[in-house]
Amino acid sequence: MNPIIEHAFFIYFFVSLCILSIAVIASKNIIHSAFSLLIFLLHIAAVFLFLNAEFLMIIQIIVYVGGVLALFIFAIMVMNLREELRHKRFVRFSFLGLAVSLIFFASLYIFLSNVKSNQNVLTYSDTNLLGKLLYSYYLLPFEILSLVLLIALIGGIIIAKKTPVDGDRR
C-alpha cells in the first residue's frame, strides 16, 4: 500500500477515536454517549483491520456491537432515566481526575515515544493457524473461559432478578 495513504488513514482513525471517546464522556444524554460508543467500537474494528487481524475485527463487531452495546441500550431503556437531563454530569473534584489522567498519559508517553520494533511483521492474516493455536496450545484457558461465561450468565440473571416485595426489603 502507498505509505502516504496508510499514514493519512491512521491519522484519521487516531483523531476520530479521540473525538468519539471524548464525546462518550462529555455528552449530556446517556443514549448519545451510547451511540458515540457504537461508532467508537466500529473504528476500533477498523484499526484491527490495519493490524492484519480480520478475525478479531469480526469478533469485535459481533460481540461488542451486537452484544455489549445492545445490552447497554437495553439497560438504559429498562432504567427509564427521563429526568436525567437536568442533573450535573461530573463529580465535584473533576479537575483532579483530569490531572491524574494527564499525569498517567505523560508517564506513558515518555516510555512509548521511542519504542523500537523489528521489521518482520505479520504479512497476512491466518485465521486457520489462529484456530489451530486456540484449540491445541490454548485449549485449557479456552475451556476455563467457557465456564467463566456460564457463571457470568447465571450471576447476571440472579443479581438483576426482581426480588419479591415484602415488609423489610425496599
Chain residues 50-69 in contact with another protein, contact rule CB under 8 A: 50-53, 55-56, 59-60, 63-64, 67-68
Q: Does 12 bind another protein (CB under 8 A)?
A: no
* Interface pick for another protein out of 24, 39, 58, 65 (rule CB under 8 A): 24
Measured CA distances, 49 to 69, 70, 71, 128, 133 (Å): 21, 23, 25, 17, 20
Q: Does 159 bind another protein (CB under 8 A)?
A: yes
* Interface pick for another protein out of 39, 82, 120, 167 (rule CB under 8 A): 120
State how far the Cα of 142 lies from the Cα of 109, in Å rounded to an integer.
34
Nearest distance in Å: CB 167, another protein: 15
State how far the Cα of 6 lies from the Cα of 52, in Å rounded to an integer.
13
Nearest distance in Å: CB 22, another protein: 6
Cell numbers at 100, concatenated: 491524574
